[in-house]
Amino acid sequence: MAFWILISVFCFLFPYLAPAANFTATVDRTEVSLGEQIHLTLRFEDMPNTGQPPQLPPLDGFTTAYGGAQTQMSIDNGVRHDSVAHIFALTPTREGTLAIPAFSVPVGGQVLSSQPIAIRVTKGQVQGGSADSVFTQGVTTNDIFQMTISLPRTNLFLNETVPVDLKLLIRNGIRYRSQMPSIVTTGFSEIKLSRPVESQEVIGGKSFVVYTFRSLTSPLQPGNLALGPARAAMDVFVDSPNRPRLPGFNDAFFDNFFGGSATKTITVTSQTVPVRVLPVPDDGKPADFTGAVGRFALDVDAKPTTLRAGEPVTLSIRVVGQGNLATLAPPKFTPPEGFKSYEPVARSKQTDEIGFTGEKVFEQVIVPLSPRASVIPPITFSFFDPEAGRYQTLSRGPIQLTVQDAPTGAAPVVVGVAPVAAAPRPQEKLGVGVVYLKPDLGAPAPSSPTLYRQTGFLAGQSLPVLALAISFVVQRRRERLRRDIRYARARRAFGNAQRRLAEAERLMPAGQIKSAAFCAALFKTLQDYLGDRLNLPSSGITSAIVEEQLQPRGVPPEICQALKEVFTACDTARFAPSLQGNLDRERLVKIVREVVTAMEKMVL
Amino acid sequence: MFLWILVFGIGGFVPFAFADVPPAFREAAVLYDQGQFDQAVARYESLLAAGVRSANLYFNLGNAHFKAGHVGRAILNYERARQLAPRDSDVDGNLGFAVKQSKSFDATAAGSWSVWLADSRDSLTTDEWTWLTITSYWLALLSVIALVWLPPAIEWRRWLRSAAITFGAIALLVSVGLGARIAIEEGPPAAITLAKEAVARFAPMDDGAKHFTVYEGQKLWIIGERPSRMQGVSGWLEVERADGQRGWVPADAIEKI
């Protein structure tokens, strides 16, 4: 309420400065389903903008939400006009016909009122209605789509060829995908629509994209016929009803959040064009009339006009104009006596996109058989002019020929004259042309993708690189094994130790006699292993190695102790078997195995 | 010579020829001989629709189109035949003859360095360039691997070293040709103008300002597209001609090679 008072105060105070104020209330649609929203726009033109949204009075049957304001400024004849549009989202709460009442705004001593608006609210989703209706927004089809058929005349003659224009207009801003239109052609020849010309047109302040199709048709039967209607199926993409329709949320980006857009298939239909078709009149029909309907000109030419008997003359009969050129029969021409004639050959050429205007040339070869056959009689062409409503006969000729006698017999020989020397062979000039067909299909085209696109093929090319890298690594290792004795001994130490331990283990189940052999094997294992690891002669390795070599190299004490234990056990078994008690062979093997494994991880 | 044998020997896994000549192929030849070129075209195209593809088929179809007066379609099919059989002199000859018949023929370009380089590049198919490159590459690397394994004292290590260098150089050289072919394959597709004349415009609309005219048989490269929103109606293609000029032509005026 305060808003309305404020508006009226300002308008009252500045009547002479402000142009004429205007106030309107509009909705974006008048039919809506329960739960859907409509937008009410209150537009204030040339009234002061307080920056505050107006307070709507309670609207019966609606809940309201303010959606924001849009301001616009324009200059017309030097006068500035400002407008503010306040947008409200109204959601109906019951079915039926609801009323948005008229709003009144006092301005400068007078009251500006909007019109009341009736809104029809239905229960479910509003149906599209008949195939010709469009959406539920309440706009008419013609606001969005239009299709028209036009002919140059609606009074035609049988077999007369006329151009047909079909225009399909689609409002700019509509998202659509259209099928090619088709036209009902009962009583007419089939209309084939080809690629349309696309342009833009503004009609009634609305911008349309226009597809113009041009084609030809001919009535095939007399009487009162109707051309059309033309129909075009169209998929129109409309907003989903789940999408909020507040300003700022109309971007397709929000489709993903609010349910997307739906597709509606509609059929746009044109009007039918009533056509009255008359047969060509019998009165005054020329004898040589062969069905040509249109407007034509005739031209006749013969080449050559000076020739010998028996030589051919090409007679060109050219019919130019507009009409049923495609079905045009050659003008009647009966060669007179003394001429031999051949079948005419026709060539057509159209000078427009649809073939309504153009020319047709009939070429006929005639041969005068004697000098007496020297006149080509007049050639006539009769056609029916539909616009004039009468027949016309065009005549060209006669054409005079100069026909000489054909040469007879051989040339006489002149006696006493030396024969002329044979002319030199002219320089050969090779001809050019297309080489003849191939006799067979040859090799088939490859069916798989080109090699460089095949992942497996490309991956396979890494194999030689891989092989090269492996070769380098292997060769370097072999070379090092060959030259670096210390390295070579250290590399084989573990393997040799394992082998010898396995041999020692085979001696384990034996009795006392085998203890010496077992211990010798175990001792040899340790000797060889330590000799290889330390790059010392294996045969010189004894238990003293522990203190002399291993401890100074940082071998852990427990390993040193274990080695001493094994060395001692083996020495006793070998050199003083009588002093030896029960030998725990398994334990000794285990100790040696653990020692070897632990020492493998050390750098000595 | 060795490399050629190796390449085409390795690549010879492709069936040498179709086992039988289809009846439609024979019928088309008969119709061609009788001067019924449009019917011959229909027969050849029925084979294409059935999935048969070969250089000879495209060549014969090109001949039939040429005789029927469709110079653009003739050039299109000769180009397709040349892609499959780049060294077929019949294809080259007929293509050159057809191009000279078209309005788009540019006599000044013939014999230039760029044409010679393009001819060299197109003298092999992409797969042939690929086989040549990888064969040289494999031979070079195998030579190096042999060098790695052979003892240093072996006399013919010297020959292996030369072989590795030679094959490596060949591989580098032919890889340039392969790269040029791949650039063609991955670049804008080439097309031939089929309409007698078509106007290339600055914008993809019928009332767009005219830029230049393209003629039947002219080779263009497709660099952009604007499809039509009406089914059955062709949209627009942005094309570039040999001298770099660009424009929009109706999509049904040209066809990709």
Residues 6+ apart with CB under 8 A from A343: A364
Q: How many CB atoms lie within 10 A of CB A24?
A: 16
Query: Do the Cβ atoms of B131 and A442 come within 8 Å?
Result: no
Q: Check residue A253 and report its DSSP letter.
A: G
Residue A452 lies in a domain: no
Residues A524, A594, single domain; the answer is yes
Give the pLDDT band (50/70/90) at residue A245.
very low
* Mean per-residue pLDDT, A18-31: 77
Taking CB atoms and an 8 Å limit, are B54 and A180 in contact across chains?
no
pLDDT band at B240 (very low <50, low <70, confident <90, very high): very high
For residue A336, the one-letter residue type is P
> Phi and psi of B192, rounded to 5°?
-120, 140
* A405 Cα to chain B: minimum distance (Å): 36
A435 interaction partners in chain B (CB closer than 8 Å)? 63, 90, 93-94
- Give the least confident one: A290-294, A418-422, B160-164: A418-422
The total number of structural domains that make up chain A: 4
Decide if B52 and A176 are in contact by the 8 Å CB cutoff: no
Grade residue A1 by pLDDT with cuts at 50, 70 and 90.
Answer: low
| CATH assignment at residue A170 | 2.60.40
pLDDT over 70 at A417, yes or no: no
**Which of A253, A276, A299 is a domain's end point?**
A276
| Inter-chain CB proximity A441 and B52 less than 8 Å | yes
Asked if B257 has any chain A CB less than 8 Å from its own CB, the reply is no
Q: Which of A235-239, A599-603, B186-190 has the lowest mean pLDDT?
A: A235-239
B204 to chain A: closest CA residue: A198
CA count, 13 A, side-chain hemisphere, A235: 8
CATH topology (fold) of B2-102: 1.25.40
pLDDT at A345: 82
Rounded to an integer, the average pLDDT of B171-176 is: 94
Verify that A55 and A157 share a domain, yes or no.
no
Query: What pLDDT is recorded for position B19?
Result: 63
Q: Report pLDDT for A512.
A: 58
Ordered by start, the domain boundaries in chain B are 2-102, 126-186, 190-256
C-alpha distance from A267 to closest chain B C-alpha (Å): 14
Domain boundary among A230, A245, A276: A276
For residue A414, pLDDT over 60 is answered with: no
Would you say residue A459 has pLDDT above 90? yes
Co-location of A146 and A112 in the same domain: no
pLDDT of the residue at B135: 95
**Interface test with chain B among A211, A436, A452, A477, by most B beta carbons within 10 Å:** A452
pLDDT tens readout for residues B24-83: 999 999 999 888 899 999 999 999 999 999 999 999 999 999 999 999 999 999 999 999
Tell whether B94 lies on the interface with A, counting CB pairs under 8 A.
yes
Predicted confidence (pLDDT) at residue B153 exceeds the cutoff of 80: no
Smallest CA–CA distance, residue B231 to chain A, in Å, is 5
Closest to A445 in 3D by CA, of B25, B81, B22: B81
Per residue in A56-95, pLDDT (tens digit) is: 888 888 888 877 776 666 555 666 677 787 888 888 888 8
Q: For residues B20 and B26, what is the distance between their CA atoms, to the nearest angstrom?
A: 11
**By the 8 A CB rule, do A443 and B54 touch?**
yes
Chosen domain end from A225, A241, A276: A276
B197 and chain A in contact, CB less than 8 A: no
Residues of B in contact with A445 (CB under 8 A): 53-55, 84
Least confident of A183-192, A530-539, A569-578, B50-59: A569-578
Q: Which of A484-488, A509-513, B142-146 has the lowest mean pLDDT?
A: A509-513
Shared domain check, A111 and A208: no
- Residue range A6-12: average pLDDT? 55
Tell me, yes or no, whether A262 lies in a domain.
yes
Do A192 and A66 belong together in one domain? no
What's the pLDDT score for residue A136?
Answer: 42
A148 shares its domain with A269: yes
Distance CA A494, CA A489 (A): 9
pLDDT tens string A36-53: 778 888 888 887 766 667
A245 and A309 co-located in one domain: no
Instruction: Select the more confidently predicted residue: B132 or A197.
Output: B132
Cα torsion angle, A53, A58, A62, A63, sign: positive
A302 and A186 housed in the same domain:
no
What is the pLDDT, as a whole number, of residue A150? 92
Asked if pLDDT for residue A549 goes beyond 70, the answer is: yes
Question: B209 is written with which tokens?
Answer: 């300002």
- Is residue B1's pLDDT more than 60? no
Q: Which residues of B touch A444 (CB under 8 A)?
A: 14-15, 17-18, 52-54
Residue A244: pLDDT band with limits 50, 70, 90: very low
- Helix (H/G/I), strand (E/B), else coil: A108: coil
Strand segments (E) across A345-428? 345-350, 357-368, 375-376, 379-385, 390-396, 399-400, 402-404
The answer to whether the CB atoms of B18 and A440 lie below 8 A apart is yes
Closest-CA distance, B212 to chain A, in angstroms, reads 19
Residues pairing with A315 in the sheet: A302, A364
Q: Is the pLDDT of residue B183 over 80?
A: yes
CA distance B203 to B246: 10
Percent pLDDT > 70 in chain A is 82
Q: Which of the residue ranges A74-88, A141-155, A161-175 would you say has the lowest mean pLDDT?
A: A74-88
Predicted confidence (pLDDT) at residue B236 exceeds the cutoff of 90: yes
**From A192-196, A263-267, A413-417, the region with the lowest mean pLDDT:** A413-417
How does residue A354 score in pLDDT terms, banded at 50, 70 and 90? confident
In this chain, the answer to whether the domains covering B2-102 and B190-256 adopt an identical fold is: no
Q: Do the chains contact at B205 and A198, CB–CB below 8 Å?
A: yes
Instruction: Quote the pTM value.
Output: 0.54
The residue that leads in pLDDT, A574 or A212, is A212
Residue A108 has pLDDT above 60, yes or no: yes
Look at B4 and B245; give whichever has higher pLDDT: B245
Residue A147 β-bridge partners: A168
Based on the fold, state whether residues A250 and A376 are members of the same structural domain: no
Residues 444-483, chain A, touching B (beta carbon < 8 A):
444-446, 450-452, 461, 464-465, 467-468, 471-472, 475
Return the higher-pLDDT residue of A114 and A431: A114
Give the residue on A whose Cα is nearest the Cα of B142: A464
* pLDDT above 70 for A4: no
Of B29, B54, B141, the CB nearest to A442: B54
- Return the pLDDT at A330: 82
Mean pLDDT for all residues in chain B: 87
Distance CA B32, CA B60 (A): 9
CA distances B185 to A36, A347, A451, A458, B133, Å, are 54, 42, 12, 17, 17
HSE-up of residue B88 (Cα within 13 Å, Cβ side):
24
Residue A206 CB partners (closer than 8 Å, separation 6+): A143, A171
Range of the domain at A46: 2-122
Q: Which member of B25, B90, B148 has the closest CB to residue A471?
A: B148
% of chain B exceeding 90 in pLDDT: 62
Residue A441 has pLDDT above 50, yes or no: yes
pLDDT at A165: 92
Do A152 and A95 have their domain in common?
A: no
> Mean per-residue pLDDT for A325-338?
82
Q: Based on the domain organization, do A387 and A263 belong to the same domain?
A: no
Query: Considering CB atoms only, which of A180, A433, A464 is closest to B141?
Result: A464
pLDDT of residue A331: 83
In this structure, the answer to whether residues A76 and A29 fall within a common structural domain is yes
Indicate the CATH number of B190-256 among 3.40.1390.20, 2.102.10.10, 2.30.30.40, 2.40.50.100.
2.30.30.40
